[in-house]
């Protein structure tokens, strides 16, 4: 393991120097009583205080809290089917033992222990996700998470039937883990990292899954695409039958920052970067990394403006977004190295007036985590930018990371964005993202929630681990940078294309789900799938799911395309390689290696 780079906040901008006159002395005294920093116009602005309470939607429990089950059930009742609602909740449990708990999680609900180690906070009970609200179909169990807890499941097996944007991080399950809903209905997840499951993981009906840097007691089955990197106990590589893609280690990783209690003091732990990682960070006790006191954070609450948030960053504070919805009329700009911007309870940022929601400078070590960006009704050219255009700095020793950063265009209402995420900075780590142009909900239609591109990567040496990108009008992923790598990719092409002409790409039928630019000399991907469901016009033909230059340095391992129920078909898997899909049987067409 490597030691974490220091993340000590920068000192506030220099205060104006004044000659020591009587008046200056009085002014200095006032400055000490009311500290000030300078805004972008060179004017004094009030100093923003760090720390404070976590707001009304962070519910903190300890083992003596009365009626814990009732309080958790009350949140679940509100959130069980509130797929596009405005409720946001974080359920936080202090270290200790909790008996007879079954915490059912609905939409926009995060549950987490407040220890430094998952075993510090133990449930003799379960953290459950099921799909009763949707008649046993788990394909819409989005936007919920479990982190930093140990579970002794009542039945010996915990149920976690989720699909996209539902991470399971730093969890210790002292038993088995069932990833399917009751009745084994459809499911389309999912993601596990830095976790230990003592028993077997049973995906059952899960179509695909990615597990990173964890330990499992076994893996029961596979459907289309099960991918592992750095997982002790993972099944041996055997794609295509069964479709297991197994990498011994993860090239570069940094676990997500998390809130914890050091005695009675809240801190945020920032795990260290690891290279060629395998297994959990906490197996041998305290993980490597750095603790930051809550006083070093601006605790952001609904109603905060982009101006205030940006001033806090300029002042030297990190950002902790409490659960809620935040409208910004200009980008949140993070131009200070090592800044942590952590969201709790699916804190949601909506850009107004067509602005970009978040811009990260071409600086070292920014950690952007736990945020949902929801496009506004006026088109944004971009929603998240990592590094300005032309970024060129080397960040290999201390990369910027995006973890559990999700994007949505439409669904909760009309939204538009030309490109959701643009990564210009070199060495960026994209660790678990779901970039989604909505196919259901409000404000949905081929032009209503127009969004041409999901992810565009221009930086070199960018690594994506757990990349979910779906339903964009053109390319879901465009990769222009050198030496890019993707471990696990899940995609569905846009359902709502009205006809063949609408998706025509010059002489090519349809835009690839994942395109590597012709200029790229080196690129590699493992465990990648694209699906089509052209239900508006089932006669649509998609030439391929993947497109890449044929060069020695461009390599793909374990690709598949699937026609869901015969609604549209693929003619090839990658370029002109791979058998066409056909019929209504939803059978993948696979390519083991390319070229």
Residues annotated as catalytic are: 492
Bond from prior residue into 268 cis (ω within 30 degrees of 0): no
| Residue whose tokens read 């807890």 | 149
Give the CA distances from residue 448 to residues 414, 434, 437, 443, 475, in Å, rounded to whole numbers and listed in that order.
7, 20, 11, 6, 18
Element (H, E) at 74: helix 68-79
Q: Are 467 and 477 in contact (CB under 8 A)?
A: yes
528-566 per-residue burial string, b: 16 or more CB within 10 A, e: under 16: bbbbbbbebbeebbbbbbbbbeeeeebbbbbbbbbbbeb
Give the CA distances from residue 463 to residues 255, 340, 371, 430, in Å, rounded to whole numbers and listed in that order.
14, 19, 19, 6
Helices assigned H by DSSP within 339-394: none
- Backbone dihedral region for residue 303 (phi beyond 0: left; psi -120 to 50: alpha; all else: beta): left
Neighbouring CB atoms inside 10 A of 25's CB total 12
DSSP conformational letter for 134: G
Q: Are 5 and 365 in contact (CB under 8 A)?
A: yes
405-427 per-residue burial string, b: 16 or more CB within 10 A, e: under 16: bbbbbbbbbbbbbbbbbbbbbbb
Q: Are 349 and 372 in contact (CB under 8 A)?
A: yes
Neighbouring CB atoms inside 10 A of 2's CB total 12
* 134 Cβ contact partners less than 8 Å away, ≥ 6 residues apart: 81, 140, 141
Segments of 179-249 assigned E as strands:
191-193, 196-197, 201-202, 208-212, 215-216, 225-229, 244-247
Segments of 221-302 assigned E as strands:
225-229, 244-247, 250-254, 258-262, 265-271, 273-277, 289-293, 297-300
Q: Are 567 and 533 in contact (CB under 8 A)?
A: yes
| Residue whose tokens read 């499992």 | 216
* Cβ burial, residue 29 (10 Å; 0-12/13-18/19+): exposed
The C-alpha atoms of residue 132 and residue 150 are separated, in whole angstroms, by 25
The C-alpha atoms of residue 122 and residue 323 are separated, in whole angstroms, by 24
Element (H, E) at 406: strand 401-409
Neighbouring CB atoms inside 10 A of 384's CB total 29
């Amino acid at each position: 393991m490597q030691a974490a780079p220091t993340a000590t906040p920068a000192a506030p901008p220099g205060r104006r120097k004044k000659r020591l006159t009587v008046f200056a002395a009085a002014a200095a005294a006032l400055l000490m009583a009311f500290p000030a920093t300078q805004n972008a116009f060179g004017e004094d602005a009030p100093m923003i205080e760090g720390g404070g309470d976590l707001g009304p939607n962070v519910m903190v429990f300890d083992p003596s809290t009365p009626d814990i089950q009732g309080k958790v059930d009350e949140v679940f009742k509100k959130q069980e089917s509130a797929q596009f609602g405005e409720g946001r909740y974080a359920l936080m449990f202090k270290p200790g033992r909790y008996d007879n708990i079954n915490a059912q999680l609905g939409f926009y609900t995060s549950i987490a222990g407040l220890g430094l180690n998952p075993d510090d906070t133990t449930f003799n009970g379960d953290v459950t996700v099921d799909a009763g609200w949707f008649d046993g179909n788990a394909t819409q169990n989005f936007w919920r998470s479990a982190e930093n807890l140990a579970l002794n499941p009542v039945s010996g097996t915990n149920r976690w039937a989720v699909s996209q944007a539902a991470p399971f991080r730093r969890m210790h399950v002292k038993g088995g883990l069932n990833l399917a809903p009751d009745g084994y209905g459809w499911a389309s997840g999912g993601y596990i990292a830095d976790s230990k499951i003592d028993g077997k993981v049973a995906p059952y009906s899960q179509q695909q899954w990615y597990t990173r840097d964890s330990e499992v007691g076994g893996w029961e089955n596979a459907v289309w695409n099960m991918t592992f990197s750095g997982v002790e106990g993972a099944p041996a590589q055997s794609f295509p039958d069964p479709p297991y893609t197994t990498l011994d280690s993860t090239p570069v990783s940094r676990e997500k920052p998390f809130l914890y209690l050091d005695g009675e003091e809240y801190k945020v732990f920032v795990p260290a970067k690891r290279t060629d990682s395998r297994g959990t960070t906490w197996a041998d006790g305290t993980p490597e990394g750095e603790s930051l006191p809550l006083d070093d954070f601006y605790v952001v609450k609904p109603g905060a403006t982009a101006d205030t948030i940006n001033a806090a960053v300029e002042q030297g504070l990190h950002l902790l977004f409490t659960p809620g919805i935040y409208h910004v009329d200009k980008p949140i700009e993070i131009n200070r190295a090592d800044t942590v911007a952590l969201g709790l309870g699916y804190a949601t940022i909506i850009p107004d007036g067509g602005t970009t929601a978040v811009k990260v400078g071409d600086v070292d070590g920014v950690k952007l985590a736990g945020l949902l960006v929801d496009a506004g009704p006026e088109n944004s050219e971009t929603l998240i930018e990592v590094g300005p255009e032309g970024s060129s700095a080397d960040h290999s020793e201390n990369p910027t990371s995006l973890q559990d950063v999700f994007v949505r265009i439409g669904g909760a209402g009309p939204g538009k964005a030309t490109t959701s995420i643009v990564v210009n900075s070199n060495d960026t780590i994209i660790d678990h993202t779901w970039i989604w142009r909505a196919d259901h909900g409000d404000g949905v239609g081929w032009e209503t929630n127009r969004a041409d591109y999901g992810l565009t990567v221009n930086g070199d040496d960018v690594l994506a681990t757990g990349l979910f990108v779906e339903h964009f009008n053109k390319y879901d992923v465009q990769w222009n940078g050198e030496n890019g790598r993707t471990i696990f990719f899940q995609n569905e092409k846009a359902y709502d294309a009205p006809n063949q002409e609408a998706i025509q790409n010059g002489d090519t039928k349809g835009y690839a789900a994942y395109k590597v630019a012709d200029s790229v000399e080196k690129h590699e991907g493992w465990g990648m799938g694209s699906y089509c469901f052209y239900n508006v016009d089932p006669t649509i033909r998609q030439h391929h799911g993947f497109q890449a230059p044929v060069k020695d340095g461009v390599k793909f391992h374990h690709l598949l395309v699937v026609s869901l129920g015969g609604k549209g078909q693929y003619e090839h898997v990658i370029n002109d390689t791979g058998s066409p899909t056909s019929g209504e049987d939803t059978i993948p067409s696979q390519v083991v290696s390319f070229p």
